[in-house]
């Protein structure tokens, strides 16, 4: 039996909601299949504060094992004698995370806030928010550069705003089956099974992208990259292969630009979201999977070679049969 404890720090709770939407199989079935016992999970458990406090202390004192410490939300880096913005069972959340992480076989940051600071790092206030082992791209975080769990792993980051439920449950699956190694983590400690591709891959608008046939307004059929702020070519995730919302959709499939929410510099590193920043006619957020010089050279030729049907449909709100001039 694998014991799992889920803590919710500063954030919207979207990762919990995402996990509760797991459907293949449902969450309770998944936990049963993986032989996971939920010691405490704020969205599923009924224990009072007193009971939770007792659970936490039993783990810290070594009276109960902790296989998976799952943390959602950014953490405030403040001492107990200062103002704290997230307290839990009488102590700052930072205190519990540090103490429990010493006992955990695996410490897992769920979502971009817990992984890198995320939404909580934005704005101009002086509150020190950060992830468990990163502050954006800077290695360190609440647990420090040298932290590793009792199994020898650093913090495993399951980034996303929110994280896809499959990314969470399949990470647990690979761990329980002994199939996840440190070498399977990318440079930001994310499982490369989910983060070695780009959200751009398998986007249904990719034919428009290849010929630089771009939408000019939302609701049009063309590629969203060149004018409307889509960052899918920067976003390391498999979002357009591992679909969302009942396995039917993704941001770009719904006509919305990708905002690269799995990135350590999300969100401020990708502002503005809904327009493409350019130098001359070249977007500043060039694709990660092609050399920049190649992109600059080939984009002009691609536009010249663009088929008429793509050029017409790119700026149309409904697909048009160009040959017969009929709307589909």
Q: Quote the pLDDT of residue 278.
A: 86
Q: Under a CB-based contact definition with an 8 Å cutoff, are residues 92 and 84 in contact? A: yes
Q: Quote the pLDDT of residue 289.
A: 82
| Nearest one of 76, 121, 133 to 269, comparing CA atoms | 121
Q: Per-residue pLDDT averaged across 219-248, rounded?
A: 93
Both structure tokens of 122:
């934005």
CA gap 107, 127 in Å, rounded: 24
Residue written as token pair 């006992």: 103
Domain ranges of the chain: 2-195, 197-328
Q: Quote the pLDDT of residue 103.
A: 98
Q: What pTM does this model have?
A: 0.93
> What are the tens digits of pLDDT across the range 257-293?
999 999 999 998 888 889 998 887 788 888 888 877 7
Q: Per-residue pLDDT averaged across 161-178, rounded?
A: 97
CA gap 83, 29 in Å, rounded: 41
Mean pLDDT of the chain: 92
Phi, psi for 156 (deg, rounded to 5) = -90, 120
Pairing status of strand 282-283 against strand 278-279: antiparallel
Both structure tokens of 137:
């791209």
Instruction: Name every residue whose Cβ is closer than 8 Å to that of residue 250 and which is 6 or more positions away in sequence.
Output: 199, 203, 239, 240, 243, 244
Confidence of residue 80 (pLDDT cuts 50, 70, 90): low
CA gap 257, 226 in Å, rounded: 11
Q: Is 263 helix (H, G, I), strand (E, B) or coil?
A: coil
Both structure tokens of 99:
């103490």
Fold of 2-195: Rossmann fold (3.40.50)
The CATH class that applies to domain 197-328 reads: few secondary structures
CA gap 164, 191 in Å, rounded: 13
Task: Compute how many other C-beta atoms are within 10 angstroms of the C-beta atom of residue 100.
Answer: 18
> What are the tens digits of pLDDT across the range 184-225?
999 999 999 999 999 999 999 999 999 999 999 999 999 999
Supply the Cα-derived Rg of the chain in whole angstroms. 22
Confidence of residue 165 (pLDDT cuts 50, 70, 90): very high
Looking at the predicted structure, is the pLDDT value of residue 127 above 80? no
């Amino acid at each position: 039996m694998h014991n799992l404890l889920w803590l919710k720090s500063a954030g919207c709770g979207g990762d919990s909601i995402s996990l509760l939407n797991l459907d293949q199989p449902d969450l309770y079935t998944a936990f049963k299949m993986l032989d996971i016992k939920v010691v405490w999970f704020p969205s599923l458990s009924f224990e009072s504060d007193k009971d939770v406090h007792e659970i936490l202390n039993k783990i810290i004192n070594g009276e109960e094992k902790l296989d998976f410490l799952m943390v959602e939300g950014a953490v405030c880096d403040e001492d107990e004698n200062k103002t704290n913005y997230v307290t839990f069972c009488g102590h700052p959340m930072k205190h519990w995370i540090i103490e429990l992480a010493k006992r955990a076989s695996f410490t897992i940051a769920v979502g971009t806030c817990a992984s890198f600071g995320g939404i909580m790092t934005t704005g101009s206030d002086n509150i020190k928010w950060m992830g468990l082992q990163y502050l954006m791209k800077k290695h360190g975080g609440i647990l420090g550069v040298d932290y590793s769990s009792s199994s020898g792993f650093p913090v495993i980051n399951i980034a996303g705003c929110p994280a896809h439920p499959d990314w969470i449950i399949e990470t647990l699956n690979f761990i329980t089956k002994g199939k996840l190694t440190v070498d399977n983590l990318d440079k930001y400690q994310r499982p490369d099974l989910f983060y070695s591709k780009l959200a751009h891959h398998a986007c249904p608008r990719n034919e428009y992208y290849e010929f630089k046939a771009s939408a000019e307004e939302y609701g049009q059929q063309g590629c969203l990259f060149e004018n409307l702020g889509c960052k899918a070519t920067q976003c390391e995730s498999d979002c357009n292969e591992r679909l969302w919302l009942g396995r039917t959709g993704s941001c770009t499939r719904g006509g919305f630009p990708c905002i690269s929410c799995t990135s350590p510099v999300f969100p401020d590193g990708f502002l503005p979201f809904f327009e493409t920043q350019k130098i001359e006619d070249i977007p500043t957020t060039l694709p990660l999977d092609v050399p920049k010089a190649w992109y600059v050279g080939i984009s002009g030729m691609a536009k010249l070679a663009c088929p008429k049907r793509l050029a017409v449909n790119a700026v149309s709100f409904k697909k048009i049969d160009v040959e017969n001039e009929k709307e589909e």
